[in-house]
Amino acid sequence: MFILKKIATQICLGSTLMMTLPYTYSYAAEAVRPQVTNYVVKNINIAELPVKTIVPITASTAAQALAQAQVIADNPDADLAEFRVDLLAFAADSKKVIALGKQLNQILKHKPLIATIRTHNEGGKLTVTDQEYEKIYREYLKQPFMQLLDIEMFRDQGSVERLTKLAHDKNVLVIMSNHDFKQTPDEQEIVNRLLKQDQLGADILKIAVMPQSKQDVFSLMNATLKVSEQSKKPLLTMSMGRLGTISRIATANMGGNLSFGMIGEASAPGQIDVTQLKQFLNTVQPTP
């Protein structure tokens, strides 16, 4: 049995939310065996507290992307940057993307860079086949400009496995991800998806879901805690929208390791300013 009431009070969710909270779990008989690896990227240990903040680069042009990268580099509250390739006007031009990615990496200096193609299937801007998706990422990985690569778990499983292996061969960490902008799956389904990512070889397990109720927010938070007790891999989980904003802060107490903030334009609903996010995280997270 696990009781979340204490932590719910700590993060000021209010009595209404606490009344909806489920207090018990029934754990699956078999758990994924935890795998230990090196999560130090550019001298930042992603797997350890404090929770690390990620700020997205949401530009449509190269000039905008370079300017945003400089702002992230100069902001002490931003720990990592995510390069949202799909938002570029030239997202389908791998040569231009790679050239820009190298420039971004240089600007960010000691801050790790995540390369992400968020496809239309998962709320992004780029529509590609599984074969095209794999081909593009293979081009990126010939001479990686990123330290972390976001791979969507629901692409062709063969492609996912091959890209994950190739990334590891190139010393690039894999964030395996799933996004649902319409609803929140039930708690056990969220757990199952995250543990499936673990089984597929992901280094960081990610899911983002859209809540339709307060209970949905707790389902995401509870699932995060449950997975954190079955896998030692870093977790990046969030309930989106204003209703789910608290999950971006509460991740510090639920076993999460990373949280998205923003400087200027958000890349997903519910993101808050990274400086505010860092302050909230520092207030609520346990002492390492």
Domain positions in the chain are 44-284
The DSSP secondary structure of 199-250, one letter per residue, reads HTT-SEEEEEE--SSHHHHHHHHHHHHHHHTT--S-EEEEE-HHHHHHHHHH
Q: Calculate mean pLDDT across residues 153-171.
A: 97
How much is the pLDDT for 11?
41
How much is the pLDDT for 17?
35
Q: Is 125 a catalytic residue?
A: no
| Residue 118 or 13, more confident | 118
How much is the pLDDT for 36?
45
pLDDT 10s digits, 209-221: 999 999 999 999 9
How much is the pLDDT for 286?
75
pTM: 0.86
Binding residues for 3-dehydroquinate: 82-84, 118, 248, 267, 271
Q: Calculate mean pLDDT across residues 196-224.
A: 97
Domain 44-284: homologous superfamily in CATH = Aldolase class I (3.20.20.70)
pLDDT band at 285 (very low <50, low <70, confident <90, very high): confident
Q: Is 96 a catalytic residue?
A: no
pLDDT beyond 60 at 27:
no
pLDDT 10s digits, 39-55: 999 999 999 999 999 99
Catalytic residue among 52, 111, 206, 233: 206
pLDDT 10s digits, 164-192: 999 999 999 999 999 999 999 999 999 99
How far is residue 136 CA from its own chain's centroid?
21
pLDDT beyond 90 at 33:
no
Catalytic residue among 111, 179, 226, 233: 179
pLDDT beyond 50 at 250:
yes
How much is the pLDDT for 26?
31
- The backbone torsions φ and ψ at residue 53, rounded to the nearest 5 degrees and listed phi first, read -100, 145
pLDDT beyond 80 at 25:
no
How much is the pLDDT for 266?
66
